[in-house]
Amino acid sequence: MDLNRLVSYSLRIGVFAAALLSMVGLFVWAAGGFNNVVTVMGSEIAGTLASAVRGNASGIIYLAIAILIATPVFRVAVSSLYFAHEGDRKYVLISLAVLSMLIFALVSGYAG
Amino acid sequence: MRVPATVVLGPIDVLIIFLVSIVAGFVGALFGLGGGVLIIPFLTLVEGVPVPLAVGASIVSVVATSSASAATYVQDHLTNLRLGMFLEIGTVAGAITGAFVSVFLPASALFILFGIILLYATMVMIRARGVDFPANVRPDKTSRILALGSQYEDQSLNRVVKYEVTRTPLTVFIGYFAGIVSGLLGVGGGIINVPTMNLVSKVPVKVASATSNFMIGVTAAASASVYLLRGDVHPLLAAPLIIGVAGGALLGTRVLKVTPPTRVKVAFGILLAAISLLMILKGFNLPVVL
């Protein structure tokens, strides 16, 4: 498989899953009578994500958001594996540089 | 601990947000932007959403616009993957720097500076709209080493366009500052990256737009995670936005493919002029939502 297809599929699967889950979440919200939903922060997010399994509308949408945010990061990781497989050292370095900066930003919270 | 801002949303709000986000996804996909310039004013001014929640929702939708449109552009070989990945080093580093320096640096100066540069870019882009594929572009050393030159099939012209990439270091350098601006201000780097690739590095405008769409996803994803953890991403704002912009982006990618480059340049130029004026106004602390 060439890089273009690999990247394209990674992105497509991520967006499709996120959009589908968002839709399911909104339907569950509608079925529940449009109850007000609040945002959660920090460590509470893990619990809300887990509630998606029980069919909690907010949990399902948070799961969609998490998948969406992971999509571009996943795309960079997939690219670096591809370049490594192709033996293209320059681009392995470039994609790993981007990936490590991204991971630093995700972990440290320094990302605007 | 900071209490997250809240907003109460009903089914009508969600429906309206969904419809507006289709437009935002369309415009974003077409011009290589996230669409935040449309979403933030709409959410704050029309829907009365507090600014942090509007920005949080907007940044999530940028990830969706970028990923949805890039999926198509990458498959059609309109995106220059190598160029995009190389420039990401600059934009991502810039975004991290922006988050670090935001405490010390007044954003207003950067706003005015970039507003003026972009106004200049607008003029150049519209005046030179007819020459999207200048002859005799000589790739610089970096461009040759990294094999950045490429080609794409232009459906509006019915031919394969070969192009070289030049002055790459300058484009990376500007990309770094575009990253700082996006880190500081929450506006995507797309509005800066597209004219830079096109005017500085001589990349055809459609490739510049497609490559920008590809690039903004990673910076936006990093920012989005921060907003998510802060509690600034509201599920009832995010859900309709994700669905809407993904749909709008798919429409936008179809339109870009068949539109002549000249028209893309003029339309982008007009949008660019409007946004750069907003940036300058905001730099002077005038009440502008961006």
Interface probe, candidates A5, A11, A44, A90, chain B, greatest B C-beta count within 10 A:
A11
C-alpha to C-alpha distance for B25 and B31, rounded to whole angstroms: 10
- Count the helix, strand and coil residues of chain B and give each as a percent rounded to the nearest 5: 70, 5, 25
Taking an 8 Å cut-off on Cβ atoms, the answer to whether A112 and B86 are in contact is no
In a domain, B4, yes or no: no
* Chain B residue nearest residue A22, CA to CA: B239
**Mean pLDDT of chain B, nearest integer:** 86
- Count the helix, strand and coil residues of chain A and give each as a percent rounded to the nearest 5: 75, 0, 25
In this predicted model, which residue has the larger pLDDT, B185 or A59?
A59
Taking an 8 Å cut-off on Cβ atoms, the answer to whether A109 and B243 are in contact is no
Running DSSP on this structure, what letter comes out for residue B200? I
Taking an 8 Å cut-off on Cβ atoms, the answer to whether A101 and B92 are in contact is yes
Residue B45's pLDDT band (cuts 50, 70, 90): confident
* Cβ atoms of B14 and B236 closer than 8 Å: yes
Residue B271's pLDDT band (cuts 50, 70, 90): confident
The ipTM assigned to this model is: 0.92
Q: B5 is written with which tokens?
A: 């801002």
- Please tell me whether residue B2 adopts helix, strand or coil conformation: coil
Residue B83 has pLDDT above 90, yes or no: yes
A chain contacts of residue B95, beta-carbon cutoff 8 Å = 105, 111-112
pTM as predicted:
0.90
Count: domains in chain B:
1
Q: Which residue range is the domain that position B189 belongs to?
A: 11-283
* Cβ atoms of B121 and B272 closer than 8 Å: yes
- Predicted local confidence at residue B113, as pLDDT: 80
Residue B1's pLDDT band (cuts 50, 70, 90): very low
Q: A102 is written with which tokens?
A: 């991204």
In this predicted model, which residue has the larger pLDDT, B256 or B126?
B256
In this predicted model, which residue has the larger pLDDT, A22 or B186?
A22
Residue B206 has pLDDT above 50, yes or no: yes
- Please tell me whether residue B162 adopts helix, strand or coil conformation: strand
In this predicted model, which residue has the larger pLDDT, A25 or B191?
A25
A chain contacts of residue B70, beta-carbon cutoff 8 Å = 7-8, 11
CB pairs under 8 A between A and B: 195
Contacts of B155 (CB under 8 A, 6+ apart): B257, B258
Taking an 8 Å cut-off on Cβ atoms, the answer to whether A22 and B100 are in contact is no
- Predicted local confidence at residue A110, as pLDDT: 61
* Chain A residue nearest residue B82, CA to CA: A91
Percent of chain B with pLDDT over 90: 45
C-alpha to C-alpha distance for B26 and B61, rounded to whole angstroms: 12
**Out of A46-50, B79-83, B252-256, B276-280, which region has the weakest mean confidence (pLDDT)?**
B276-280
Q: B254 is written with which tokens?
A: 């179809």
- Predicted local confidence at residue A111, as pLDDT: 56
* Cβ atoms of B29 and B253 closer than 8 Å: yes
A chain contacts of residue B230, beta-carbon cutoff 8 Å = 41-42
Convert the pLDDT of each residue in A49-78 to its tens digit.
Answer: 888 989 899 999 999 999 999 999 999 999
Convert the pLDDT of each residue in B99-135 to its tens digit.
Answer: 777 667 666 777 788 788 888 888 888 887 877 777 7
Place of tokens 């922006």: B98
B chain contacts of residue A66, beta-carbon cutoff 8 Å = 228
* Cβ atoms of B228 and A69 closer than 8 Å: yes
In this predicted model, which residue has the larger pLDDT, B214 or B230?
B214
Q: In terms of DSSP H, where are the helices of B231-289?
A: 235-258, 261-283
Regions of chain A with pLDDT less than 50: 112
Q: B66 is written with which tokens?
A: 């970028």
- Would you state the torsion angle of the CA atoms of residues A4, B187, A105, B54, taken in this order, to the nearest 10 degrees? -110
